[in-house]
Structure 1
Amino acid sequence: MAPHAEVAAVTDTSSVVVPDPILTKGDTHAKFTFDDVLPHRQQSEPVSTIVAAFSSAHMFKSKKSANKPKARKWDQHFSMESRSRQPSSLKGAMKYFKKDTISLCGGLPSPDYFPFQEVGAKLPVAPHFSQDELAETAQPFSAGKFDTLSGDSTYDLQIALNYGQSMGPGAVLRFITEHTEAVHNPPYSDWDICMSAGSTSALDISLRMFLERGHYVITEEYTFSSAIETVLPIGAKMLGIKMDAHGMLPDDLDHVLSTWDEKARNAPKPFLVYTVPTGQNPTASTQPLQRRKDIYALAEKHNLFILEDEPYFFLQMETFVSGQTHSVEKPFKPAPVKDFLSNLIPSYLSLDTSGRVLRLDSFSKIIAPGSRTGWVTGPSQVIERFLRHAEVSAQTPSGFSLITLYKLLEENWGHKGFLEWLMFIRAEYTRRRDIIVNACERYLPAEVASWSPPMAGMFHWIKLDITKHPLYAPGEMGLQKILDIEHSAFAALADMSVLCAKGSWFRAERGSDTELFLRLTFAAAAPDKMVQAVEKMGFALRREFGLEQVALEHTQNGHTNGHAK
């Protein structure tokens, strides 16, 4: 597929159009693309600069979206808690607020009493993203208290630091809506977006929207530990579906649902699926397109609703080649945007013809976890219920985060710069993946340790052959014995100052463990520290499993899987 021409482009920061390199005034496309953003903005109403103004993705979507079919309805599946929630009286009153309105209604403090006249930071100039380049080329930005009044911006501190609507401020929501439509192109018309205080908060709200006590949530047999720890206190249960290296197995999912016995299970047939399709936490499995299509077809067959948790979507990597490490050019050379997007495995949102997916996105893994900012995309009916929960909990992400993200994404990078940043961190995580997997091949004992190289994300899932452990006794391996062996291996690594995550922490159906796993991450430690840690792991596992021991070395020669050549 030939790349499109990289063109000069713009973002809209007020009524004035300012340069931003991805949008064009050229012909629009059958599918909304980033090249359509500028002409669409020029034909649309400007973003409101009123404090706590109502906004919605419907205000920023392209006209093409309106010609698609509607999503199906989910009334009968909302929990009693969710059905009971009513709109916020105070937030609802803001729809009557106009520029000349004198409000004596909501308790919005006067910005005169915000002790911040201006905030600032230094931001990288795309594509100069490396830490060395950042130190030299980063440009300062500032956000003032009254930039909207002077016409310098569509978003300022008097708006960001006050109360806001739970769907998020229009100035940021517009960017996210354009990004979502251009990347995922949802196939139905009435999709909407609500911003969130990160995916953990969004997941908590989403689960509570749909679950009653005693209900099951379908997920992979190993899944995100925080999801398990959110579901269980609700009084619901996880139902683990068998996996392979490509994630959830459609045949097992179909079998479990087709043979569901409500009396034997003492629960209604599940309808809610929670999945992390890309770089799954903890196993790092990535569902290929056909696997996603097969699971979506089963969702249609069994009338399932899918929670698509996708913090690692843009961290889809090139294939691992043993002994090789991908390099990251300095300065970084981004690929054409069209090529980058075309190489990503499509999302469930992009396959969702009937409106049965709620996608959870987050800036945590692609910008910074401390931003506590994300967004959910799904059918308007579901997003409306999400809003009702958000209004009485987190309300909105932090105003400091929102103003910083606005300056970074809208006024500094624009859509092209943001995508180039995503290309950069994808390349960096690919390099880190190569380093840790090569280190595992070199230092971990092949007699007991095995894995599939990650294709996305930031985790490496190691299987340890429990039958090789000295405490293994055929016919006597109850749950406690397995957990004792797991803890012994975990503690052996901790004694070597290497901290990993236990596989049992991620077992969807707690207490059903039959195998032994450890989860490593290649996100945090410096590359040389990762190699050192894996070398220590090899030493500790040999000692733990009673294998031939080798001395710890810190050189780069002489060992494969810890054995002298």
Structure 2
Amino acid sequence: MTPPAAIEVKAITDTAGVTVPDPLAAPIKSNEIYGRRRKTEKSQWGVAAPANSFNFRHYSYEDKPKAKRWDHRITPEALNRKGNSLKEAAKYLGKSGLISLGGGLPSSEYFPFDSLSLKVPSVGHFTEPETQTSGVILTAGKHDLVQDKSIFDIATAFNYGQGTGSAQLLRWIVEHTEMVHRPQYQDWKCTMSIGSTSALDMAFRMLTRPGDVILSEEYTFSAAVETARPMGVRVAGVSVDEEGLLPSSLNDILSTWDEKIRGARKPFLLYTVPTGQNPTGATQSLERRKAIYALAQKHDLIIIEDEPYYFLQMQPYTGPNTPDVPPPASHAEFLQSLVPSYLSFDTDGRVMRLDSFSKVLAPGSRIGWVTASEQLVSCYQKHADVSTQGPSGISQLVVWKLLDEHWGHEGYLDWLIHIRMAYTQRRDIILAACEKYLPKSIVSWKPPMAGMFHWLKIEYKKHPQASSKTIEELEEQIFLKVIDHGAMIMRGSWFYASHEEEHDALFFRATYAAAPGEKIEEAIRRVGEALRGEFGLEQ
């Protein structure tokens, strides 16, 4: 399939050169990106072809500052890593007439796959029933590149690749990043990951040493804590409110840090999920993000901006039994409705942004990407080349066929608007169910603006056994009571940034992502029934 009709230059041949855009021009529209791509040689797309994301950017960044250097923060392990020397030779594979007896790249004639076919939604017809009746079949052949049918094929994707990921998909990712975030310094780059959990593990290896402390929300993504702990790295929790991280708490921790009392050097790494935070569902406003970034400059922090839910920002919540807010009328309106990322106003290169297709396409794709300064991306790439390498070539080919050859950037934004509205509907269902079934005398909540999670605060001191049991005992008792009633919500203590710190609040996390609307409502009814029974309230 060619890109959408509004896009003039087809990705199949990829040979049409165009004028380099004016760096001071208005933002590139989604349907203009393909027409602005630079002319490329076929060797750019070959097996294990090296890819430099600088080559895929559309704007000039010469008027922007360069990123700070982070030699004082990067670990000796990362600084001393040389990467994979054998992959360095791959840059010569594109030389015309070269016969390679060098790299251990298996011949594609021994790949037992001739073609790969996928049925996917056509643009604007995204539901499962529509896909079944009007979906489009995409096919990748083994030798499409050699036969000039496509720039990505089985022979290329199913072979070894670079730690950056394939040039084909990396180009799409760079264009997407530039369109959405427009970074504000010269030497930013993208490289692919096998998902943000792996990227976070590698970032911690790059930037922390045993005995260090990193900062995060006081309730945070449990895998982040569990990743840091075996490295000998602790997490210090920063207080939160309905907008997430509190700048005053962050500044207080850093300004009063005593290495002797804390047993660790002053933290310089902040891990945050700014949008639809897991588990609290909080979304930092632009003003909140700028205040935190200013503190990062004051205290010389590196910010790991983990954003799996960035495009799950929903329509405003207007209350139960109110008319639905219509979807964004255009791509420009949709992008303008998103809270700007840290990356979009980072001028120092102190933000390491983690993106992923897991929450917007499929978790099993295991494709994400890292955007950061050239220095940090180079360290990450060298590590990937000798560990994870790039994401699965099969996954990359599947995702590229969908996003680049079929939907294009324009169709992908249509898809993101579609899932925005779907998640808005689910969010509204769980909120309406909470209003209907939960006892407000002991349960409170704030409507989430983004993400997948609804954070419920329980007034545990009103429990009949509050004077005789600890908060942890009451939490377990309530959790098991909800299970007995046929529902499950996650215990808030599972998301503590630090179990060493005192916690005087009881929370549970519910999700509206995993079940259809009628089951969400029934689950919340069962939760309400369990809570009334546990607290001795009338049913």
Same fold per TM (> 0.5)? yes
Q: Distance in 1 between matches of 2:518 and 2:424?
A: 16
For residue 460 of structure 1, what is the aligned residue in structure 2? 454
1:497 to 460, 483, 486: 486
C-alpha contact (below 8 Å) 2:114/2:142 kept by paired residues? yes
C-alpha contact (below 8 Å) 1:377/1:383 kept by paired residues? yes
List structure 1 segments (4+ residues) > 4 angstroms apart after TM superposition. Answer: 23-29, 42-47, 325-329
Is structure 2 residue 505 aligned with structure 1 residue 515? yes
For residue 158 of structure 1, what is the aligned residue in structure 2? 155
The code of the aligned residue for 1:253 comes to: L
For residue 8 of structure 1, what is the aligned residue in structure 2? 6
For residue 360 of structure 2, what is the aligned residue in structure 1? 366
SS at match of 1:233: helix
C-alpha contact (below 8 Å) 1:326/1:430 kept by paired residues? no
1:79 to 63, 75, 87: 75
C-alpha contact (below 8 Å) 1:325/1:431 kept by paired residues? no
Structure 2: 5+ residue runs without aligned partners?
A: none
C-alpha contact (below 8 Å) 2:87/2:162 kept by paired residues? yes
Q: Distance in 2 between matches of 1:510 and 1:529?
A: 33
SS at match of 1:441: helix
For residue 183 of structure 1, what is the aligned residue in structure 2? 180
For residue 168 of structure 2, what is the aligned residue in structure 1? 171
Is structure 2 residue 40 aligned with structure 1 residue 33? no
Q: How many Å apart are 1:68 and its aligned residue? A: 1.7
For residue 320 of structure 2, what is the aligned residue in structure 1? 323
The code of the aligned residue for 2:504 comes to: T
Q: Distance in 2 between matches of 1:179 and 1:468?
A: 50
Q: How many Å apart are 1:514 and its aligned residue? A: 1.9
Is structure 2 residue 331 aligned with structure 1 residue 341? no
For residue 110 of structure 1, what is the aligned residue in structure 2? 107
For residue 64 of structure 1, what is the aligned residue in structure 2? 60
Q: How many Å apart are 1:253 and its aligned residue? A: 0.7
Taking structure 1 as the reference length, the TM-score comes to: 0.90
Cα distance change of structure 1 residues 40 and 47 upon mapping to structure 2, 3 Å threshold: farther
Q: How many Å apart are 1:30 and its aligned residue? A: 2.4
SS at match of 1:175: helix
Q: Distance in 1 between matches of 2:386 and 2:532?
A: 53
CA RMSD of aligned residues (A): 2.1
C-alpha contact (below 8 Å) 2:11/2:34 kept by paired residues? no
Is structure 2 residue 482 aligned with structure 1 residue 486? no
For residue 216 of structure 2, what is the aligned residue in structure 1? 219
Q: Distance in 1 between matches of 2:41 and 2:182?
A: 22
Q: How many Å apart are 1:53 and its aligned residue? A: 0.2
Is structure 2 residue 150 aligned with structure 1 residue 148? no
Q: How many Å apart are 1:324 and its aligned residue? A: 3.3
SS at match of 1:64: coil
Q: Distance in 2 between matches of 1:373 and 1:63?
A: 25
Is structure 2 residue 77 aligned with structure 1 residue 88? no
Q: How many Å apart are 1:29 and its aligned residue? A: 5.6
The code of the aligned residue for 2:486 comes to: S
For residue 560 of structure 1, what is the aligned residue in structure 2? none
Q: How many Å apart are 1:546 and its aligned residue? A: 1.1
Q: How many Å apart are 1:328 and its aligned residue? A: 9.7
Taking structure 2 as the reference length, the TM-score comes to: 0.95
Is structure 2 residue 444 aligned with structure 1 residue 450? yes
C-alpha contact (below 8 Å) 1:11/1:414 kept by paired residues? no
Q: Distance in 1 between matches of 2:527 and 2:515?
A: 15
C-alpha contact (below 8 Å) 2:13/2:149 kept by paired residues? no
Instruction: Tell me the matched-pair count.
Output: 532
1:381 to 361, 375, 383: 375
Is structure 2 residue 528 aligned with structure 1 residue 538? yes
SS at match of 1:75: coil
C-alpha contact (below 8 Å) 2:460/2:466 kept by paired residues? yes
Q: Distance in 2 between matches of 1:370 and 1:326?
A: 36
For residue 242 of structure 1, what is the aligned residue in structure 2? 239
Q: Distance in 2 between matches of 1:31 and 1:214?
A: 47
Q: Distance in 2 between matches of 1:508 and 1:381?
A: 29
C-alpha contact (below 8 Å) 2:305/2:353 kept by paired residues? yes
SS at match of 1:205: helix
Cα distance change of structure 1 residues 27 and 212 upon mapping to structure 2, 3 Å threshold: closer
Is structure 2 residue 248 aligned with structure 1 residue 259? no
Structure 1: 5+ residue runs without aligned partners?
A: 1-5, 550-565
Q: Distance in 1 between matches of 2:7 and 2:35?
A: 11
C-alpha contact (below 8 Å) 2:21/2:58 kept by paired residues? no
SS at match of 1:77: coil
Q: How many Å apart are 1:87 and its aligned residue? A: 1.5
Q: Distance in 2 between matches of 1:321 and 1:256?
A: 36
Cα offsets for 1:119-148 (capped at 9, x unmatched)? 111011111111221111101011000000
C-alpha contact (below 8 Å) 1:13/1:152 kept by paired residues? no
C-alpha contact (below 8 Å) 2:194/2:390 kept by paired residues? yes
For residue 309 of structure 1, what is the aligned residue in structure 2? 306
